[in-house]
Amino acid sequence: MPSNENPDRAARRRARKIAFALIVVLVGVWIVWGWLGRGGPSGGAAVFTTSGESAGVPYTVTVVQTAHVLKDSDLHNVIATALEKATWLMSASDPSSETSRFNATTSSDPVRISAETAAVIVSALKVSEQTAGAFDVTLGPILRAYAETGDTVAGPSDSKLDALRARTGYEKLILDATASTLAKTEPAITVDLRALLPGYTADLVARGLDRRKVESYLIEVGGQRRAKGRDPAGRPWPIEMTSAAQSGAPRTIPLEDSALGMAHAASGPVVDARTGRRTTHTLESVWVLHADALWAQAYANAVLILGPEDGFLLAKLLQLPALLVFRGPDGTPNERTTPAYEERFGALAAK
């Protein structure tokens, strides 16, 4: 049936339909482009980086944002707040920190601590139990004695070491995690959380960024790393693992939504708390992956203390992705990876 509609009016109607269709297509393209662009700068990603020192420990934080962009000043505040809190809770050099105040008391009465510090002590005590006491956060007096002698190989004399060992022992700490209190059965017992503080600090920064809905970040505190999402190029964060004992090019692994803890023998004397003496094995570097940087660092330190055999067995038993670098009898560098590491990284584990 022929239409009686005015030709001009019909033309305008067709034009409106075409314009509407173009708008729909453009909006669709914009949405898809934005979605695809979340992986990298092509999508308008905002990249923020800051670095410095906190309690003498270097840190670097890189943030990648696309959909939800915070101001640089807001990111600075989030990061600074987390760094200050970690120092206030557990710094050994700050006399006002919670651990310093606990160390100063000689009473056996329970001392109230924050839930955050209690959680770190829980982790430390668990790792001490898992290593039969080789890892111990009460070892501070012995570590200081090694530093004072100026000879980190021989260390303190047997008589001095015996006296110092009476002032150590994780079993002399009494933690009530529910009540958030910590007590000591020996007046001279102290806790030194420096072997855990960088990892815990990275976790604390991560929680602050997560609360502000930050999509992607890489946090490094004292060599301990915590990653979420992807780097500015849209890839998992590439992490280089280097050791003085390695030969050839360093390994690079993709880190995404997890943490990587590391421990190096070159960083200072590696002391087995069970003997109070420096270890004599040839394990030089350890990397451990975990969901949290605190646990990753704790286990990396534990494996380093136990050595290439017992440390590997612990990591394997706990199903931890771990890489161990050690020297063979002839001094040549060797690497060993746990089954969990090989399963996670596939072909990269063989490099």
Q: Return the axis-axis angle of helices 72-90 and 115-130, rounded to nearest 10°.
A: 60
Mean pLDDT computed over 254-266: 95
Task: Tell me the average pLDDT across 116-143.
Answer: 96
pLDDT at 333: 85
The structural domains of the chain, ordered by start, are 45-92+194-230 (no CATH), 107-192 (1.10.3980.10), 236-350 (3.10.520.10)
Written as six digits, the tokens of 87 are 């120092």
Read off the pLDDT band of 93 (50, 70, 90).
confident
Question: What's the pLDDT at 68?
Answer: 75
pLDDT tops 60 at residue 321: yes
* Average pLDDT score, the chain: 86
Q: For the residues 209-221, what does the mean pLDDT come to?
A: 96
Residue among 108, 104, 105, 124 nearest 186 (CA): 108
Model's pTM, two decimal places? Answer: 0.84
Is it the case that residue 346 has pLDDT exceeding 80?
no
Three-state SS at 241: strand
- Residue 290's alpha-carbon distances to 103, 202, 326, 333, in angstroms, are 30, 13, 21, 25
Question: Could you tell me the pLDDT band of residue 330, with boundaries at 50, 70 and 90?
Answer: confident
Token pair, residue 226, equals 């915590």
Residue of 39 and 54 predicted with greater confidence:
54
pLDDT of the residue at 14? 56
Minimal CA–CA distance to 294: which of 86, 52, 57?
86
276: left (phi over 0), alpha (psi -120 to 50) or beta: left
Could you tell me the pLDDT band of residue 56, with boundaries at 50, 70 and 90?
confident
Mean pLDDT, range 65-91, rounded to an integer: 91
pLDDT band for position 267 (50/70/90)?
confident
For 50-72, b where at least 16 C-beta lie within 10 A, e where not — what string?
Answer: eeeebbebebebbbbbbeebbee
Which of these, 37, 48, 42, 39, lies nearest to 217 by C-alpha position?
A: 48
* Residues forming beta bridges with residue 65, ordered by sequence position: 46
